[in-house]
Amino acid sequence: MTIDTWTIIRKEWKEFIVQRGSLRGNTLSLIIIIGILGILPPLKAGSGWIVSPGVLILAVWGPFLLVSSVVPDSFAGERERHTLETLLATRLSDRAILFGKIFAAIGYGWGLTLIILLIGLVTVNLSSDSNSLLLYPVTISIAILMLSLLGAWLAAGVGVLISLRVPTVRHAHQVLTAVGMLLLLIPIIIALTLPKDLLGQFAKFNANKMAIIVIAVLIGLNIVLSIAATIRFKRPQLMLD
């Protein structure tokens, strides 16, 4: 299963860069995204970027954005290109196909996000007047690794589940965008509806403990999404769709 899963991962990575549009166009788009996210926020924040909450927000939002741009194509795109039946007719197991696509999307979003955050660190050091090397604190570094991985996993899990159910890539993009907006609005709505005294208690809450809670919630949610995708993936049904 490991070899089969890796086969799907390599296939997906190749299609992310080459087959789903021109190589030059996709590379240029990635460079622009990496440049905007990796340079502009650190330049604006200055040396405070390495301990800024914006780093952790980017660690979650960045991979979700990046994965959301490719994961809707995972099954809906195969369906549109009439290659889904060919893929399902291979000897590859159901789990190899499903998790190969999920892992490919996670690796794509996670890897690019870490590159973006590394570029941000370089930007801060180049633009800072400090004579010492500026690095992310250990706790923030660990949080970055965990949150970016979980953010990519969340987008991949939601995206694949949607792509399994909808007939077109465009439809999958629309649904995933709506889900992403909902996930973004939920904390805002909660913040607006909670009593002021309760909000004050949250403001005083230890940042490390808050990060642990967020990580635990994301892990639980991602496990549920992965189980749901496994249940939803029915090869005979997909071949008839």
Q: What is the pTM of this model?
A: 0.86
**CA 119 to mean position of chain CA atoms:** 18
pLDDT in tens, 98-144: 999 999 999 999 999 999 999 999 999 988 877 788 899 998 899 99
Total domains in the chain come to 1
Domain that holds residue 197: 2-240
Cα atoms in the Cβ-side hemisphere of radius 13 Å centred on 141 = 7
pLDDT in tens, 35-94: 888 888 888 888 888 888 888 888 988 899 899 988 999 999 888 888 888 888 888 889
CA angle 176, 179, 185 (to 5 degrees): 145
Buried b (16+ CB within 10 A) or exposed e, 112-135: bbbebbebbbebbbeebeeeeeee
Per-residue confidence (pLDDT) for residue 20, from 0 to 100 = 54
Give percent above pLDDT 70 in the chain.
86
Residue 16 is given by DSSP the state I
The whole-angstrom separation of Cα 98 and Cα 156 is 11
Per-residue confidence (pLDDT) for residue 67, from 0 to 100 = 92
Average pLDDT, the chain: 84
* CA-based end-to-end distance of the chain: 26
pLDDT at 28 over 70: yes
